[in-house]
Structure 1
Amino acid sequence: MALTVHIPEYLEGCELIAGEDLAREPAFWLAHLMLTVGDPDPERYGVDASVYEEMVERLSNPEEPWPVLRVPFQGGHTAYVVYANFDDANNVDFFVRHHEWGRLGYLGQCGADEAGPGLAWTELATLAEAAQNSSEGLTDSSQRLLLLLPMLGDAEMPREARHMVAQALAHCGIRSEAADELATVLVGEQESDSEPHWTVTADSPVAVCSSSYSPRQIPLALGIAPHQAQDLADALNGRG
């Protein structure tokens, strides 16, 4: 029986269940990563087409509880990915939470309503590798990286980013011969003079994004106490 997940600050009236069991299936990763790319040829990536279609239906069924996958990280913070399936729209919500905040920090959204990016590369890599004490959520660094990858948007990524994503794809069951190509599509070929850029301002220690489509044009979880904002900034960047 699936574990019920309670997020007090999230939408009222929706039933949420833990979805980390989905991470065992390559079809899930292909469906999840295609949120920002489009419909793939599943067989090319080592996923049976019928299995892929079943997964897409499972992830978008408004008659079932909404799957939630969690990435706990430093300082008691958790990143959440929720497959929010309404009768007339399907979205995937990405946000962070701390039990002391009383609010959510939105990273962005994929689906019918697009918003992002929500993470710089340094933040994504930190969350993927972050040690955590929680018994809930994903613990595998490759799974954590791919789960949050749709929120990535950064003009200043290191050369090894594509290789790291390709390794994670292969680790999670994507055919190795196609993983490198898919990683290039997912990460992109951004130049340092393009967008978006991430900067820390005098208003908050948490970086803000230059993209006009990003919820992080304002500091993440705006309104939390100054020490909480510093804790969040440290956690996102692997400090402390």
Structure 2
Amino acid sequence: MPLIGYLNRFRPPVDASVLVDATPWLTDPLFWPAFLLSVGGSSTAAVAFDLDPADVEVYGEELHQHDSWPVISLDLAQGHRMHILFRNYEDDSGWDYLLQPAASDDVINVAALEGGFHGPALSWPELVRTASQPDPKHSQAERLLLLLPAVGDAAIPRGANQVVAAAVTNVGAQRRQNVVAGELLAGSDRFWGSSDWTKQEGLLVCLDHHSPRHLETPADRLALLAEAFGG
């Protein structure tokens, strides 16, 4: 199991029995507003899905029980995978984006929201490419919304709001989709602010040092991450 090594990094180590495959939960009407609120930072999500905010908050609390660590896994380019983990460790909870390189059981923490403060993992164009990848388990809208919290990009295009709003509609929102989209796009400011990207020897790098893809990151690691996100 690829997350065993990751769980062993905690002190004391975390038993793998806490891991729960949360993929089936995406069909629960309460999942998306709870995810977009807690991970994405959208305070309007419950209203957009025409749900009672109190019910969404209760569901969100259930996602963060210490004895259960939900994980959602996505296939990336070239056989790489992304594990989105609710890190429900007592006194150090948050959400981790863990990249599993192809043919490896190891994982690389490419973004940590709350606690570790690590990221961003990818740029806006990479998000669009990665979300568009064919996936028998997840729709393009689901992939985009699941990965969006790990994005940080000062050059997000003007039409991004419409792209995100369409995804929010696709997973069940009935109103105020543009407001939710705006909140989600601004959500990364809670963690690493607006991030600039550039090219270094043909490889995409982030100018924020707390990104796993900063200017001093080894070239082989930069190449691996670029490949995973469709570069």
Q: TM-score band, normalised by the shorter chain?
A: 0.7 to 0.9
Hey, which bits of structure 1, 4+ residues long, moved more than 6 A? none
Aligned twin of 2:113: 110
In 2, Cα distance between equivalents of 1:108 and 1:8 = 18
Q: Which runs of 5 or more residues in structure 1 are unaligned?
A: none
The question of whether the paired residues in 2 share the 8 Å contact of 1:45 and 1:179 is answered with no
1:62-211 → structure 2 map (5 Å cutoff): 62-64=66-68, 66-101=69-104, 103-132=106-135, 138-175=137-174, 177-188=175-186, 195-202=194-201, 206-211=203-208
The structure 2 residue matched to 1:11, chosen from 7, 22, 34, is: 7
TM-score by length of 1: 0.78
Q: How many residues align?
A: 218
The question of whether the paired residues in 2 share the 8 Å contact of 1:75 and 1:231 is answered with no
In 2, Cα distance between equivalents of 1:86 and 1:165 = 30
In 2, Cα distance between equivalents of 1:18 and 1:102 = 17
2:18 aligned with 1:20: no
| Secondary structure, counterpart of 1:53 in structure 2 | helix
Q: Deviations along 1:135-166, whole A, 9 cap, x unmatched?
A: 6xx42110000001111111122232111100
1:42-81 → structure 2 map (5 Å cutoff): 42-64=46-68, 66-81=69-84
Letter aligned with residue 14 of structure 1 = D
In 2, Cα distance between equivalents of 1:89 and 1:117 = 19
Letter aligned with residue 209 of structure 1 = C
| Secondary structure, counterpart of 1:95 in structure 2 | strand
Q: How big is the alpha-carbon RMSD for the aligned residues of Structure 1 and Structure 2?
A: 2.9
In 1, Cα distance between equivalents of 2:36 and 2:50 = 15
TM-superposed deviation, 1:38: 6.2
TM-superposed deviation, 1:229: 5.8
Letter aligned with residue 237 of structure 1 = G
The question of whether the paired residues in 1 share the 8 Å contact of 2:119 and 2:212 is answered with yes
Structure 1 residues 219 and 28: alpha-carbon distance in aligned structure 2, compared to 1, 3 A threshold: farther
Structure 1 residues 82 and 121: alpha-carbon distance in aligned structure 2, compared to 1, 3 A threshold: same
Percentage of pairs with the same residue: 26
Q: Which runs of 5 or more residues in structure 2 are unaligned?
A: 9-13, 188-192
Letter aligned with residue 62 of structure 1 = H
Structure 1 residues 165 and 14: alpha-carbon distance in aligned structure 2, compared to 1, 3 A threshold: farther
